[in-house]
Amino acid sequence: MTTTTEQNGLSANKKPWTSPVSTRYADRIILTTYPGQSVVDPIPLKWGASTPEERGPVLVSRNKNTISKRNAIGAHGGSYAIYNALAIAAGDLPADFRPDFLNTQPTFDFPIQSAWHDPMRIVSMDPFGHDIVKYYGKYLEQGIDVRPTIAVTRASMRVSEISEAVREGRLLVDGAIVHSDQGDVRVTKVAVEPVWYLPGVAARFGVDEALLRRALFEHTGGSYPELVTRTDLNVFLPPIGGLTVYIFGPPERVSDENVRLALRIHDECNGSDVFQSDICTCRPYLAFGIEEAIKEAQQGGSGVVIYFRKEGRALGEVVKYLVYNSRKRGGDTADKYFQRTENIAGVKDMRFQALMPDILHWLGIKKIDRMLSMSNMKHDAIVEQGIPIHERVPIPDHMIPTDSRVEIDAKIHAGYFTTGQTFTEEDLKNVKGRGWECWEDVTH
């Protein structure tokens, strides 16, 4: 006979925790929901101030030395904040853990740009988040829990398409950038977690800040009540993915207007980028962008690839796969490409490129000689932020997988840049993707 204890997954000789909270947290819960509370005394945070000292650190920690000083909403780590909480609950990480930042300083000291001090030019990342020891060391010495939101490192990377380009002679082994005949490439990498200045984000989207705060509160399940109760706090660390910058060639060239710059802005597509699914052009275009960026760097310029965590047009993989099913079972033609997505997600695309140029401002990019992208949304967002694009480079036709013609042709018809064929609505009806006839009955 199975006992209730066994049914609940507990063996007879193990007892459930009787007071698990007390093993991690000895104090009562402290809420900082409203301004003016006795436990609320935030350190001033002046977004866009002329110096990092005047601006102040971004503080979200609920550490006992910091909780009353918090001047922002959310938690560090984006979506990974949840894993941090799980590690604490499981007893693997002390609740009051403080990092040791010895030897973590950036491998390249990016020069301060005028945009770092402009409250409306950079609104979705902390311009001073890459070197908190230098900028905010005095707070760390006082026991205040300041955390970085940007990290700068260097690495060597190997991509199969780049190795192939070396073997075929399209890329040369120069010893500085491409440093082996296997196609190993030196790169500077910058990881960025999102930090939103809410008044600036609202202005960028052309919406009222109160509406933005309410929407963020309501549609994160009410997880961040301070969005609506603490209007004195203007900074929010959203629980979303960030971005990574890959710089080929000396990083100091990126902000030098006297050298050419090639840029690929790429939004995450796990299925194609990692597992090379052929239903879209993501992996081929990413590989092409990396190769062209390396070529530009080898010619004395700078090559930059920026990878944003916006899986499935920021709709997520679950929605993306549901769309795949709808497409393949309903007749996969280019004229219905966007309709399939709208039927399930309600919109064509939620990547909203309005915030994307912030990283370009942070890097000091003032013009783009070769934009390795066909996206009209990316192009328009960059140009609207005052960064001219001199040339747009579409993916070469021979790199487009057969089954991805549905996607790319539909996007060209919708406004994507091309130097090749354009399509009418009637043309799109004849652009068909691979069916599932060999896998399952397509009639449902």
Given the residues 351, 358, 392, 409, the one annotated as active site: 351
Q: How far is CA 202 from CA 103, 120, 207, 234, in A?
A: 37, 10, 5, 11
- The residue type of 93 is L
CA dihedral of residues 246, 250, 256, 257 (deg, nearest 10): -70
Q: How many Å apart are CA 394 and CA 372, to the nearest integer? A: 6
> Would you state the structure tokens that stand for residue 270, as one six-digit string?
């796990």
DSSP state, residue 399 = G
- Whose CA is closest to 414, among 375, 382, 371, 384? 375
Selection from 209, 57, 227 nearest residue 145 by Cα: 57
Residues 6+ positions from 416 with CB-CB distance below 8 Å: 374, 375, 376, 408
Q: Is 98 a catalytic residue?
A: no
Catalytic residue among 145, 349, 358, 409: 349
Tell me how far apart the 2 most distant CA atoms of the chain are, in Å.
80
DSSP states along 301-328: SEEEEEEE--HHHHT-HHHHHHHHHHHH
Closest CA to 234 of 204, 192, 201, 205: 201
Task: Kindly list the strands in the beta sheet with 196-197, ordered across the sheet, starting from the edge strand earlier in the chain.
Answer: 73-74, 235-237, 196-197
Contact 104, 151 (CB under 8 A): yes
8 Å CB contact between 191 and 150: yes
Amino acid in position 427: D
What are the structure tokens assigned to 31, written together?
A: 């809420």
Active site residue 351: yes
Cite the active site residues.
Answer: 349, 351
